[in-house]
Amino acid sequence: MNLMMLLADATAGDGGQAAGPSGCAGGGASSLVMMLLMFAVFYFVLIRPQQKKAKEHQTMLSNLKRGDTVVTRGGVIGKVSGITDTVLVLELQEKVRVRVARSYVDGMFKDEAATAKADDKPKKAKDKDADAPPPEAQP
């Protein structure tokens, strides 16, 4: 107890009157402003984008229909062949179906490799036509 009183007297230094919590007058207001500023930064950097992403995911789940190709959180890719309120039936191959909880669907699957191959074929045909000389210039 005596040690605490000695420390309090040593830190006061101005006739026994203790300073504010931050050591200067008006420290409470500036710390409140800093706390509000930190909350605003956390809101705009962390909370708001997470809420936006969750809302988009919920919209995607509610708009699922038969024939959509989806990927689950486990990485399973399948075509939706049946829908209930909480369960989707995914067809992985012909006559291979799996029941998956709707909440475990991560998103729509876009096969970029297949689209790239499909996009490359017309380009190659156009390139061949572009490399050939015009019909008038051929002997």
| Residue 45 pLDDT > 90 | yes
Distance CA 121, CA 111 (A): 16
Task: Note whether residue 91 is domain-resident.
Answer: yes
Task: Note whether residue 26 is domain-resident.
Answer: no
Say what the pLDDT of residue 123 is: 55
| Tokens linked to 91 | 């067809």
Task: Note whether residue 84 is domain-resident.
Answer: yes
| CATH code for the domain of 96 | 2.30.30
Task: Note whether residue 106 is domain-resident.
Answer: yes
- What is the per-residue pLDDT across 48-57, written as a single tens digit (0 to 9) for each? 999 999 999 9
Task: Note whether residue 87 is domain-resident.
Answer: yes
Tell me the average pLDDT across 98-116: 86
DSSP-derived secondary structure letter, 134? P
What is the number of structural domains in the chain?
1
Residue 75's domain comprises 65-122
With contact defined as beta carbons under 8 Å apart, do 82 and 90 qualify?
no
Task: Note whether residue 35 is domain-resident.
Answer: no
Task: Note whether residue 32 is domain-resident.
Answer: no
- What is the per-residue pLDDT across 72-92, written as a single tens digit (0 to 9) for each? 999 999 999 999 999 999 999
